[in-house]
Amino acid sequence: ICQTYYGGESNGGRLICHWITDAKLEDNVQRRNAEWSFYNSLVYLLPAVIVNTILGAYGDRHGWKLNIMLGITGLVIGEFGYLLVLSKSIHAPYWTVLVFGAIAGLTGYISMIQISCNAYLADITKDSNLLTIRAGIFSVTYTFASVIGGVFAGFFSWLPSVISIDIELGLFLVALLFVYWRIPEQTKTLETNRCKSSLSTAQSIQEFFMELWLLLKEGAKTYMRKRIGYRRSFIFLSVLALIITHTASIETRIELFNNLVIIGTIGGLFLFKHYFRIRETSMILIGIASSTSRTAVIAFATETWHMHFANLLGIFSGLVQPAVVSFIVQALFPNLIISYSKNIRKKKQFSEIVPNDEIGQIFSLFGIAGDFAFVIFNITYSYIYRETEVWMPGFSFLFIAALEAIAGIAMLWIHVQSCKEGIGRRSVNEPLRSTISIIGKISSAMDPTFTNDLKNKQLSIYDMALARNAQKNAEFDERWLESFPARYRDGSFY
């Protein structure tokens, strides 16, 4: 960028962009760099918004292997644009990066990788507690990769930029092969295979675009669909909290903070989820409080130790992402009550915040919101910093802390409402779990084949009481699914 706008040689015969010492030139280059960063984000964002919606719906139907590979392919395409620009033999103009960025956006780019990986974890993990831990490990791996990438970039800084990009492209190829060989393709819906061999080329193209349109409509409807209770609000407010904290951490991240986040995320998952077994919403609140306190201290920092103390306060900020993932997909109540619902669609909405066949589409909303947030916050933070740098350099951090505090208030409301609706209940102890298991087995006595077997069994008075109570609870008010809490028939335990 510097050579594009201020290229040429100085009086000493040295390129002025090789080592910038002029403060005014540095400010101008930074301003130009911010402009091009905005352009890069914009050309990638516009196609990615639509593509993420389509691929999210596609993944819910056909699995996530292809989506992950498409995201990695998008990274390859984007980096190839930089390869052409930085190559001394080709030396393409910098706007070439925009062209390749737009093409990369058609694959979903890097956000599609994170969306698909989280959805894949949700598919293969049925235990919400285990899902929180796995999502946390995945988040830590992302952070750890940025640390390792920075270390290797500094260690091999003597290499030409083109060689560095070649190495990067080689690693992307390894990632593609790993996904292709190691991640199984899981078709999640039973669909009749179409006999495409009998279709003409025109018919095949028409079928393809019709499928794309249906996937786009399906994804858009998922975002706005009415859900029981406050579940739709839970989704959008959780996305808002995740995006604000994630964007704030990116805007203020340093290598020391990355290392602390890795330690805090792993330790926090073990401490809060494995040992204390707290709700996911509680973990989100802890993460937001940690991130908010960090940015607030940075805003008023005047000494070096203030920055170290601030980063120590933000040690648990990495808990937000895995906790939000688990909160969205976890079950509401045990299946023994849900099984009495007569409407299959309503049964899925009642049992989960998001049904299994919509998880990918909701996660694609995370990616779309993240793309928009990056562009909006990049403009907002840059403008606020330029306007307030003279009289209070840390005001932009104070503004970020205020946004995180608002997100924390929203999550506090979600926490209270989810507690009322029974979402994210603590794991029950073994005696109670055994009792629930007994109720589930006895409640299936509504099946005639089970009734015949039940006559041959000797039940205790307590088992008979549980069976009677399960039968009463099965007789729902018809308006039950449209309201909360449930209204059961009057009657004693016996």
Q: Where are the beta strands (DSSP E) in 149-213?
A: none
Same domain membership, residue 159 and residue 40: yes
Structure tokens at 310: 């601030």
Residue 342: predicted pLDDT: 38
Sign, CA dihedral 118-123-129-130, equals: negative
Same domain membership, residue 308 and residue 446: no
What whole-number distance in Å separates Cα of residue 258 and Cα of residue 271? 20
Structure tokens at 399: 């503004």
Sign, CA dihedral 167-170-172-178, equals: negative
Same domain membership, residue 455 and residue 414: no
Tell the residue number behind the tokens 């306060």, with chain if given. 313
Same domain membership, residue 35 and residue 143: yes
What whole-number distance in Å separates Cα of residue 188 and Cα of residue 131? 19
Alpha helices in 106-160 (DSSP H): 109-124, 128-155
Residue 334: predicted pLDDT: 34
Same domain membership, residue 246 and residue 99: yes
The CATH number covering residue 382 comes to: 1.20.1250.20
Residue 308: predicted pLDDT: 86
Structure tokens at 138: 């995945």
For residue 6, being part of any structural domain is answered with: no
Residue 426: predicted pLDDT: 55
End-to-end CA distance of the chain: 79
For residue 463, being part of any structural domain is answered with: yes
Q: Considering 420, 448, 469, which residue would you say is the last residue of a domain?
A: 420
What whole-number distance in Å separates Cα of residue 166 and Cα of residue 174? 13
Same domain membership, residue 295 and residue 256: yes
Q: Which of 39, 41, 48 is nearest to 113 (CA)?
A: 48
Reported as half-sphere exposure (CB side, CA atoms, 13 A), residue 223 has a value of 20
Residue 249: predicted pLDDT: 61
Same domain membership, residue 171 and residue 90: yes
Largest Cα separation within the chain, whole Å, is: 102
For residue 92, being part of any structural domain is answered with: yes
- Cβ distance 432 to 263 under 8 Å? no
- Cβ distance 238 to 324 under 8 Å? yes
Provide the domain count of the chain. Answer: 2
Same domain membership, residue 233 and residue 348: yes
For residue 12, being part of any structural domain is answered with: no
Overall pTM surpassing 0.75 (yes/no): no
Same domain membership, residue 79 and residue 151: yes
For residue 193, being part of any structural domain is answered with: no
For residue 145, being part of any structural domain is answered with: yes
For residue 273, being part of any structural domain is answered with: yes
All residues at 6 or more sequence positions from 227 whose CB lies less than 8 Å from its CB, including other chains:
235, 349, 353
Same domain membership, residue 473 and residue 363: no
Structure tokens at 221: 């409807």
Sign, CA dihedral 127-132-136-138, equals: positive
Tell the residue number behind the tokens 């980096």, with chain if given. 79
Same domain membership, residue 393 and residue 437: no
Q: Is the peptide bond before 448 cis (omega within 30 degrees of 0)?
A: no
For residue 228, being part of any structural domain is answered with: yes
Same domain membership, residue 252 and residue 131: yes
Per-residue pLDDT of the chain (494 residues; tens, 9 = 90+): 888 887 655 444 455 676 777 777 777 787 787 778 778 878 887 788 788 878 887 888 888 899 999 999 999 999 999 999 988 888 899 899 999 999 998 998 888 888 888 888 888 887 777 888 888 888 888 778 877 887 787 788 888 888 989 999 999 999 999 999 988 876 554 443 444 444 445 556 677 667 767 766 776 677 677 777 788 888 888 888 888 887 766 555 555 566 677 788 888 988 898 788 888 899 999 999 999 999 999 999 988 899 889 888 989 988 998 888 888 876 333 333 333 343 444 444 444 556 666 676 777 777 777 767 777 777 787 778 778 877 888 898 899 999 999 999 999 999 999 888 777 655 444 444 554 454 554 444 444 544 454 445 566 666 676 667 666 655 544 444 444 444 444 444 43
- Domain hosting residue 114, numbered range: 23-186+205-420
